[in-house]
Amino acid sequence: MNAKSSTIREQPNSPSKPPLLRFTIVDLSGLAVFHRAYINEVLDELLFSGFSAAMIAFSRELGSELYSIQMEGINYYFRTKEDFILVVGMYPRVRSSSAKRFLRLVYEIVHWEELEGYLNKAIYFQTEEFIEKLEQLILEFQIKFEHLIR
């Protein structure tokens, strides 16, 4: 994974104060296989991805599923599938139903059946096709909810 992936992504027409602050895909070992931040990053991507995987593992040990937590004024929402965790960080003014909808939309653009064909499944999340679809989805979300962050 390229260390530059945690930098702020400039997208045309993207709001200056985005409602979606960061999005990460983590494998269950704690490795971030995809990460984008839309604010100045003070969060260590590796530490955060390991923490996310540990929290999911801990919640499963308790017999439940972790759906969200709040830290440092940011709400984090989780969705898991197979060996991966989708994590989105949003301003608290974005409703949880909108965050869950975003995660559902991301979930739907992943071709989960294709992952089986990859020796290293994390490579799928670096493909041009996936990144283009995801960044378009993020841009649409940022524009739709920018009114919440003025």
Domains and their CATH numbers in the chain = 17-142 (3.30.450.70)
CB-CB contact of 32 with 26 (8 Å): yes
Which range, of 39-43, 57-61, 99-103, 119-123, averages the lowest pLDDT?
A: 39-43
Can you name the residues that pair with 140 across neighbouring β-strands? Answer: none
pTM score of the predicted model: 0.83
User: What pLDDT is recorded for position 120?
Assistant: 86
Would the CA dihedral through 133, 123, 120, 76 be positive or negative?
Answer: negative
Show the tokens assigned to 150: 């003025």
HSE of 58, CA atoms in CB hemisphere, 13 A: 9
Higher per-residue confidence, 146 vs 57: 57
- The band of 132, judged by pLDDT with boundaries at 50, 70 and 90, is very high
Which pLDDT belongs to residue 145? 82
Alpha carbon 128 to its chain centroid, in Å, reads 17
- Angle, helices 96-109 vs 128-145, to 10°: value is 160
Sheet holding 20-27, edge to edge: 32-37, 20-27, 84-90, 74-81, 68-71
Q: What is the mean pLDDT of residues 58-78?
A: 92
62's CB contacts (< 8 A; 6+ apart) are: none
Rounded Cα–Cα distance for residues 28 and 52 (Å): 9
Checking phi first, is residue 122 left (phi over 0); if not, alpha (psi -120 to 50) or beta? alpha
Cβ atoms of 13 and 21 within 8 Å: the answer is: no
Q: How far from chain centre, in Å, is Cα 73?
A: 17
